[in-house]
């Protein structure tokens, strides 16, 4: 079987998967996408005192401001998740969750940790895709009204979302000389480039979903670590952040790459 035949077979399998899961995929994507916010909001409730004390000690901001920070994170994240899952005021929910990401990036000094910063940006990419999806739903309400084509802001949201999502994979590259690491880096890099430029996008994104899911379950198995150990919380955080990026990729699979992509340009050639 030649390379073109193999690619054609893979695309057929991906198309078949999309036909079977078309009704459920967007819902699964949204659930995965908001999972890290849901987990963090619940953690704010159960670790209220620890989180407040940490912020108070780190920023010397006093008891009241530290309490406001934890309360804002709790309500902002859980409230945003409820709105996204219920499909109500999704755009406002996305802007609120963007604000939470920015707030946590500063409060927990993520700005100076490149790995965590890239993961937060990837999370922002997922929210951009969710925002683009909510815009397309809004447009569909006016199906009979003439328009100038696909909304330009939506196209660029999808482009920005795709580019930011691939930052997650940059943090998974291993710079050592073992054959497996070199192979993983080469395949992973090729796939993230395909997603970023929007070429064979659905197939590349679906392959990344499978790859990232396997890595997540294998390396971030927080359930195997006793809850009292710090590594449990660290792996749990990583697990749900990665699950959110999987949700973003599933949105790419469900919605396609958008207007600013090679897949879309190919239709014009």
Whether residue 229 is contained in a domain is answered as yes
Q: What average pLDDT does the segment 64-70 reach?
A: 94
Whether residue 11 is contained in a domain is answered as no
Structural contact between residues 162 and 264, judged by C-beta atoms closer than 8 angstroms:
no
- Position 199 scores a pLDDT of 86
Q: Which domain holds residue 164?
A: 18-136+153-266
Whether residue 141 is contained in a domain is answered as no
Q: Is the model more confident about 17 or about 268?
A: 17
* Alpha-carbon dihedral angle through residues 55, 53, 62, 106, given to the nearest 10 degrees: 0
- Position 147 scores a pLDDT of 40
Whether residue 147 is contained in a domain is answered as no
Longest alpha-carbon distance in the chain: 67
Whether residue 252 is contained in a domain is answered as yes
Whether residue 10 is contained in a domain is answered as no
Tokens of 246: 């999987």
- Position 269 scores a pLDDT of 54
User: How confident is the prediction for the chain on average, in pLDDT?
Assistant: 84
Whether residue 186 is contained in a domain is answered as yes
- Position 141 scores a pLDDT of 41
Structural contact between residues 249 and 165, judged by C-beta atoms closer than 8 angstroms:
yes
Whether residue 2 is contained in a domain is answered as no
Number of separate domains in the chain: 1
Q: Is the model more confident about 32 or about 200?
A: 32
Structural contact between residues 240 and 122, judged by C-beta atoms closer than 8 angstroms:
no
pTM, 2 dp: 0.84
pLDDT tier at 166, thresholds 50, 70, 90: confident
Which of the residue ranges 8-22, 78-92, 133-147, 210-224 would you say has the lowest mean pLDDT?
133-147
Q: What average pLDDT does the segment 53-63 reach?
A: 92
């Amino acid at each position: 079987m030649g390379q073109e035949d193999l690619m054609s077979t893979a695309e057929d399998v991906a198309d078949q998967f999309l036909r079977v899961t078309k009704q459920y995929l967007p819902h699964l994507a949204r659930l995965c996408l908001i999972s890290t916010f849901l987990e963090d909001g619940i953690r704010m409730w159960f670790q209220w005192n620890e989180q407040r004390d940490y912020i108070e000690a780190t920023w010397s901001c006093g008891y009241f401001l530290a309490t406001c920070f934890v309360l804002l994170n709790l309500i902002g994240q859980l409230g945003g998740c409820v709105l996204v899952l219920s499909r109500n005021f999704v755009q406002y929910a996305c802007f609120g969750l963007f604000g939470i990401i920015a707030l946590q990036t500063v409060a927990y000094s993520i700005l100076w940790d490149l790995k965590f910063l890239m993961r937060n940006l990837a999370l922002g990419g997922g929210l951009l895709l969710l925002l683009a999806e909510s815009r397309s739903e809004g447009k569909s309400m006016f199906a009979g009204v003439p328009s100038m084509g696909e909304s330009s802001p939506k196209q660029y949201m999808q482009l920005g979302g795709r580019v930011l999502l691939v930052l997650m994979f940059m943090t998974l590259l291993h710079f050592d000389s073992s054959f497996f690491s070199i192979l993983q880096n080469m395949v992973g890099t090729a796939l993230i480039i395909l997603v970023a430029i929007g070429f064979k996008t659905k197939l590349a994104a679906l392959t990344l979903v499978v790859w990232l899911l396997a890595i997540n379950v294998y390396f971030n198995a927080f359930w195997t670590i006793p809850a009292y150990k710090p590594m449990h919380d660290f792996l749990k955080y990583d697990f749900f952040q990665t699950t959110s990026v999987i949700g973003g990729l599933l949105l790419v699979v469900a919605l396609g790459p958008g207007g600013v992509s090679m897949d879309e340009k190919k239709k014009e050639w």
